[in-house]
Structure 1
Amino acid sequence: MPKGSSRVAAAAGVRERLAQEAARLMIEHGIADYRMAKRKAAERLAVSRTRTLPSNAQIEACLAERQRIFEPATQSDRVGRLRQVAADTMQMLSLFEPRLVGPVLSGTATSNSPIELHLFADAPESVAGVLARAGIDYEECQRRYRFSGRRVELVPGFSFVSAGERILLIVFAENGLREAPLSPVDQRPMERAANARVRALLVE
């Protein structure tokens, strides 16, 4: 094998090992951030060259594979419970056209994954009002999202616990329903699911 080809193969092997280790850390240690998982995996495997780090999509694929192989029943139960809580919360907040996103929708949620819902209202205070009237003890939060064209926005939201699960409500402007932020996994517009689809997933 030519030297160039052998180096490429070696780098690919390192990336695969790092992706597997990062996925293991995300599952066993509840790490939700891809960058942190990569860094810790690199430390554990004594890899210092950043050019050999795997992509988020590669880690996500390893994550799904590990869950399918090592804990199929547990993972199915976990995702089902999270989707049920998500659907109930979406029903309560139907006025704001909620959409489920992230690992709970994709089915790769770990024990540390929150339920992330995108809501749409020009006044975030209106969401806070509904939560207050429902007797929900919430905290204000913010999340940073990337959009196409390298645009970055800090979007307001609220977090609370329901049925023992952490829920993030991210409140976009009403016209935000037309443009989803980019997924940290593949840098494509996030997949968003309305309540009808979430309940269909529960039946499946």
Structure 2
Amino acid sequence: MNDKDKWSAHLEYLKVAITLSTAILAVAAAIYSDATKIPNDASKWALLASVIFVLLTLVTSISGVIYLSNFLIRTVDATLDTGRARKITKSAGASFFCFLATGFCILLFFLMRSFGGGVSLPASAVDSVSALLRKQISDPADRLNFVRFEMKGSKYIVDYMINQGPTSFRASVDVTTGQVELIERKP
């Protein structure tokens, strides 16, 4: 085994860390691109911390690959080039620590969302209102059409209309519990 083969484990780890970090950042970008997907409770801080740690993982992994590339194309004897080798191991170690911290923050986020109650998502509020309204509509020929959704304080306001006609419904849904609190019918 020559000296360059000893660094293959570092290279493989750094490649995997870059791939996973990029994928997790893509998921985070999808979440943060739509304000309705961002949690309103304390779990948003665990999600933000995981995004920060995954970004640090990506940066330290890329710097580790750069240091490793420079080390592998060196002209100096490997026994004399301990400074570059130290940079590789420190960068890979920092990447691994940040990767573990990312995993911990994501686990914390899932635990907070699963057991902390969390906040109901707008889509589930719209679905709850729709299901209740379908039970209230007596004529099967009537079609329920979604009109508008907004957030007022700690309430979601959902508006529906029947067959684009004069009858409409306005429902109020509690953000924290997801329970439909009030349905107003307007003839």
Structure (1 or 2) with the larger CA radius of gyration: 2
- TM-score normalized by the length of structure 1: 0.25
- TM-score normalized by the length of structure 2: 0.27
Flag the structure with higher helix content: 2
